[in-house]
Structure formats: structure tokens, C-alpha cells
Amino acid sequence: MSPTGSALSSHFIKEIILEDLKTQKYQGRVHTRFPPEPNGYLHIGHAKSICLNFGLAAEFQGLCNLRFDDTNPAKEEVEYVESIQEDVKWLGFDWGDRLFYASDYFEQIYDCALQLIQKRRAYVCDLTAEEIRAYRGTLTEPGRDSPYRNRPLEDNLKLLERMRAGEFEDGSRTLRAKIDMTSPNLNMRDPVMYRILHADHHRTGDRWCIYPMYDFTHGLCDSIEGITHSICTLEFEDHRPLYDWFLDEAGVFHPQQIEFARLNLTYTVMSKRKLLRLVQDGQVSSWDDPRMPTISGLRRRGYTPESIRNFCDRIGVSKSNSVVDIALLEHCLRDDLNKRAQRVMAVLHPLRVVIDNYPEDQLEEMEAVNNPEDPGMGTRKVPFSKVLYIERDDFREDPPKKFFRLAPGREVRLRYGYFITCVGVVKDDQTGEIIELHCTYDPRTRGGDSPDGHKVKATLHWVSAARAIDAEVRIYEHLFLKSDPEDVEEGDFTKTLNPDSLTTITSCKLEPGLAEAKPGMLFQFERQGYFCLDPVDSIKGKLIFNRTVALKDSWAKIEKEDKK
Ligand code: ATP
Ligand code: MG
């Protein structure tokens, strides 16, 4: 069982861990880590990695560290460090007292570099980045040795010290591992271990002007923290020999790197670099725009941690890349919200209805069920009065064949209210637009029940005009028009942005109880979908609801068809 109570599915990484436990490879320890680079906000892909790393630790009574991989001061910021911690916590995971930074180990990493120079396994190289690239060769051609490859040991030590002391310009020198310029694996062709970068670091300030590269840093951090299983995405498979080489040459504790397929989702871009671009170009309001696949965007949209964890469990963990249908994520969300969201009535596009035979000053409190899935959630009172709002779409003056909702002369049920019959239509003299309906009600149908068993074909939601509260509602569609946003003939992924991904409806009418809603609270607006009170833009006196997800479940349909 997982910490969250769901029985998690098995996968190849669990098999590896079970085997390691059997053979006592790490004395029965399981210690993982989640290692984000603080160069952006976390996204749903990171959630997969978080659930996997923290989930495995919990399942095997092990530990999971949160470690910031902060070796690139040019792109990293404290804002990101903070948001990442908030997101991991919100997802329901706890790193205890094990919050680390790669920058905590800069001194140890530097010592290791000196040691590799001593062992003649590293050298200072004066080639420029471009020259290094040219010397590296290609997949079909071997590389050539750098002219600095056989520098005397003493010179290397001195030069590295001078690099650290700030004597050289950015890019003028590097420290490189001395491995094999003819290796078929390009990562093994004397990779760079340190580069010169005169930039302030968000934690170490100006203490360093050389920064260790990812491949050199990562394994050492894992080793220092006693990580047993260092889980990363498939692109790092070709880096594993290098991960192993550094640890073996350094002669330190050797965790094992295991790769799994990253999450890709339809209608979504996932890389932080691309998400940053959307923010910077103003295509979205911020990192937590409810259309963003970021954890903070999903949270603001109304996603629950449970639904995301459930999704991560359902997609599984494998070795082959694939693209997951975003409908599955939405399905997991509906599944969760169906159980927890209170039902309420909200009219998004109001049409006034006057009940001609209803007493002018009367106001009745009708009893409404809060959640038919959970009787424990009780009931509430909803006011009914002479003037109501219904949804504009629920009336047709000239109804087509299969339209069973309100039309002239037709009777429908108002949920928890009464049966009403349309007896008149008022139009704007100038535009011809319908501005009001006149109806009569049947007093014998209080609560929406028919006394004599006669049936109506439609049940509508409504709110009392006298007591309605106003709200703005934001309807979201996919941020991209194409299921693969990268699939563009010209330009880049921004070409496939959906111009209608946000629709704002300003004059919605809600049942009065919603005035008490707290930011982030979730509701089902009957017949419309799930909605969440926006925690950022809602202010006192102005309610703004995000549509979290519509009711229609396209995934359930896919599953049903698969079973046929
Ligand atoms: P991005 O390209 O989106 O910036 P990244 O891999 O550079 O992603 P990191 O901050 O380095 O981002 O990632 C932290 C951890 O999350 C890594 O272990 C990485 O493998 C994992 N991760 C990142 N993206 C995904 C994804 N789409 N699916 C699963 N795991 C992911
Ligand atoms: Mg990265």
C-alpha cells in the first residue's frame, strides 16, 4: 500500500529493488531522491518522477531526498526553489530533514576534481566550446585528442586553482575528464567537468566562478547522500557509463542509475524552457495560469493531489517512450471530484424567467441534495422565487426534433423546484433577441416531483433572481490545437497555440450559498462541470470560478470502445 492508501501497480523498477533487497545489495536500504533543477516551475511530468521516487521510498520503508540540482546559476532562481518545495508538499510528499542542494557539495566536488587530476584522469583544456565540439567527432567519426590532453599534472593543478581564483574569462578554459576520444559513446569523449562562469549563485553568491557540469555533479551528490537507486529519464541512458566512470574513478559509494520513460501528454508541451517562453511572451498570465501543465497551474485550475497521484499510478512506469492521452488525466480528476465536490446550481448564460402565477413576494426554501454519490454530505436550502434565471441554451423558440428542454407551450422540471410551462416570450424590439420568458408553475410539483406520475422530458438548473450572486467564470480549453504541439511545418510550437483556450463569462448567476466559498474550493455546477474558486484573482465581492473540467468524459468512452 502507498502512503496515500491506494494499492500501487508493479513495474520494472520495483522488480529491481526487490531483487536488490533479496541480495542485500545495499544492506536492505532503499534511498531515492527527486533532483529538480530550479530553473522553472514543476510540471505534470515532474509529478510522475516525484510519485515514483517518494512512492518507492514509502513502499519499501526507505527515504527520499529533495535535492536541488543547482549548478547553473545563470538560469536558477529562489522563486523556483520555493515553488518546487510547495508543489512537492502539496502533492502529499515529505522529505523530512533531507532538503539538499548540489551547491552544498561544491567543496567536495572540487576536491574530487583535484583527485582525478592527481590520478591523471582529468586535465585543464584551453580549447573554446566550439573547438571542443569540432574535436569531439561524430557518431561515425572518432574524436581527436585535445592538444592540452597531456599537460603535466602540476600545471593542471595550478591552472584549476587559478580558474577557481577567477583569473580567467568565461569560456576560456575547462576541466575535462580524460577518458577516450574514440569511444563510440560521445559522452565518454573527454566530457567537460568544470566550466568558468562569473555569475552570482542564489546560494553561494560570488564564492565560485567555476561550476561543475551535471554529469560530474549528479553521481557525486547521489553518492554523498547514500542514494541507492538514482532514477532518471531515458535520455540519460547514454550517460550511465559516464555516471559509473566518475564514481569508480573517484572510488566512492556507487548508487545505481535506472532510467524510465518520461511522461508526454497530448495537447501539452512539457519542457520548462518552453513553458518559460509562454510566460515570458505573455501567452499565459503566469506559471500558475490554469491552462499550464505546471503543478501550480493544475492546482489553481482545481486539480486535487489525489487525482494527480492516481493518474501517475495508472500511467505506470516503463522503458519505452509514449504519449499519454490528456483525457486520462481529466478522467482521473472527474473520478475524484465526483466523490468530493458539492453540487450547486449556477447559470452561466442567464435568461430571465417570470413565473406569472407565483406570488410576487413569496420566497421558498427548497431542499437540495449536496452530493448524490455521498449522502453524508447532506442537503442545503436553495431559494425559489417569482423571477428566476435559467440557461439561455435551455430554451428554443423553435425547437429542433431532439430538443426536449424548454420551448413555447412545453413543460419541464426545475430541479428541486417545480414543473413550469412556457407561456410567453418577450423580445427586444430592436434586436429581436429573447430577453425574458413567461411561465406558469404547477404548485402540486413542489420539490420537482410529479404528483400524478405524469412525466416531463427535461430537468433544468436555475437560480432565484432575487437571491442570485454574480460571478465571473473562466472556461478553459486545451492550450494547443494539435495533439502534438511540436508537429509544425514552419516556426515552432507557439504556432499551434489555441486562440480560444480561455473564454471569460462575466455575468453568471449563482445560488447564494456560493458567497461563502473559500478560495480553491471545488464544486460541481450541475450539468456544467466542475469549478474551483480561483485562489489568485478572486477578491472580496468578486467571485471568479475556473472551470476545472467539463462533465463529459471522453476517456470513459475510449475505454468502453476498447472493451468492445
Ligand atoms: P524539463 O526538460 O522539463 O526542464 P528536466 O528533466 O530538465 O525537465 P529537471 O528539473 O532536471 O527537469 O527534472 C527533475 C527530475 O524530474 C528529473 O529526474 C527528471 O528526469 C524528471 N522529469 C522531468 N521531466 C519529466 C517527465 N516529463 N516525465 C517524467 N519525469 C520527468
Ligand atoms: Mg534539466
- Distance of CA 37 from the midpoint of ligand 2 (Å): 6
As a whole number of angstroms, the distance between CA 230 and CA 247 comes to 13
φ/ψ of 154, rounded to 5, equals: -60, -40
| pLDDT of 134 | 97
Q: What is the DSSP string of 523-561?
A: EEETTTEEEEE-TTT-BTTBEEEEEEEES--HHHHHHHH
Helix, strand, coil share (%) of the chain residues, nearest 5: 30, 25, 45
- Whether the pLDDT of residue 8 is over 80: the answer is no
Give the ranges where 30-96 is alpha helix by DSSP (H).
44-59, 78-90
Domain at 346-468, CATH from 2.40.240.10, 3.40.1440.10, 3.40.50.150, 2.30.30.760: 2.40.240.10
Ligand nearest to the CA of 218: 1
- Secondary structure (3-state) at 451: coil
- Secondary structure (3-state) at 317: coil
Question: Which residue has the least CA distance to atom 13 on ligand 1?
Answer: 36
Expressed in angstroms, the distance from the first to the final Cα of the chain is: 32
Question: Which residue has the least CA distance to atom 25 on ligand 1?
Answer: 45
Please choose from 69, 217, 227, 233 the residue to mutate so as to test ligand 1's pocket, defined by most ligand atoms within 8 A of CB.
Answer: 233
CA nearest neighbour of 45 among 245, 315, 358, 370: 315
If 0-12 CB within 10 Å is exposed, 13-18 middle and 19+ buried, where does residue 469 land?
middle
CA nearest neighbour of 265 among 318, 330, 183, 199: 330
Q: How many CB atoms lie within 10 A of CB 367?
A: 10
As a whole number of angstroms, the distance between CA 401 and CA 409 comes to 15
CA nearest neighbour of 511 among 341, 345, 342, 381: 345
Q: Which atom of ligand 1 is nearest to the CA of 49?
A: 30
Question: Which residue has the least CA distance to atom 27 on ligand 1?
Answer: 45
Look up residue 123 and give its DSSP letter: E
Find residue 434's DSSP bridge partners.
427
- Distance of CA 14 from the midpoint of ligand 2 (Å): 25
**Of 48, 203, 272, 509, which residue is the catalytic one?**
272
**Of 29, 121, 262, 314, which residue is the catalytic one?**
262
**Of 37, 59, 373, 436, which residue is the catalytic one?**
37
- Whether the pLDDT of residue 225 is over 90: the answer is yes
pLDDT tens readout for residues 245-256: 999 999 999 999
- Secondary structure (3-state) at 377: helix
Position with higher pLDDT, 339 vs 540: 339
pLDDT tens readout for residues 534-543: 999 998 778 9
pLDDT tens readout for residues 109-133: 999 999 999 999 999 999 999 999 9
Look up residue 327 and give its DSSP letter: H
- Whether the pLDDT of residue 9 is over 60: the answer is yes
* 37 given a catalytic annotation: yes
Q: Which atom of ligand 1 is nearest to the CA of 271?
A: 3
As a whole number of angstroms, the distance between CA 34 and CA 232 comes to 9
Question: Which residue has the least CA distance to atom 9 on ligand 1?
Answer: 36
As a whole number of angstroms, the distance between CA 203 and CA 102 comes to 10
Q: Which atom of ligand 1 is nearest to the CA of 236?
A: 20
Could you check whether 12-260 and 469-564 share the same CATH topology? no
Report the CATH fold assignment for 469-564: Ribosomal Protein L25; Chain P (2.40.240)
As a whole number of angstroms, the distance between CA 230 and CA 218 comes to 9
CATH number of 12-260: 3.40.50.620
Q: For residue 497, which amino acid is it?
A: L
pLDDT tens readout for residues 404-447: 999 999 999 999 999 999 999 999 999 999 999 999 999 999 99
User: What cell was used for 336?
Assistant: 475524484
Output the ligand 1 site: residues, CB below 6 A: 35-37, 45-46, 48-49, 69, 232-233, 262-263, 270-272
φ/ψ of 87, rounded to 5, equals: -70, -40
Scored b (16 or more CB within 10 A) or e, 119-141 reads eebbbbbebeeeebeebbbeeee
pLDDT tens readout for residues 45-85: 999 999 999 999 999 999 999 999 999 999 999 999 999 99
Q: Which atom of ligand 1 is nearest to the CA of 40?
A: 4
- Distance of CA 110 from the midpoint of ligand 1 (Å): 26
φ/ψ of 434, rounded to 5, equals: -75, 125
Question: Which residue has the least CA distance to atom 10 on ligand 1?
Answer: 36
As a whole number of angstroms, the distance between CA 258 and CA 136 comes to 27
pLDDT tens readout for residues 345-382: 999 999 999 999 999 999 999 999 999 999 999 999 99
Q: At what angle do helices 240-250 and 106-118 cross, to 10 degrees?
A: 80
pLDDT tens readout for residues 271-301: 999 999 999 999 999 999 999 999 999 999 9
Contact assessment for residue 126 and residue 173, using Cβ atoms and an 8 Å cutoff: yes
- Secondary structure (3-state) at 400: coil
Q: Which atom of ligand 1 is nearest to the CA of 42?
A: 10
Instruction: Indicate the domain borders of the chain.
Output: 12-260, 346-468, 469-564
| pLDDT of 2 | 42
CA angle, 416 then 420 then 422, to 5°: 145
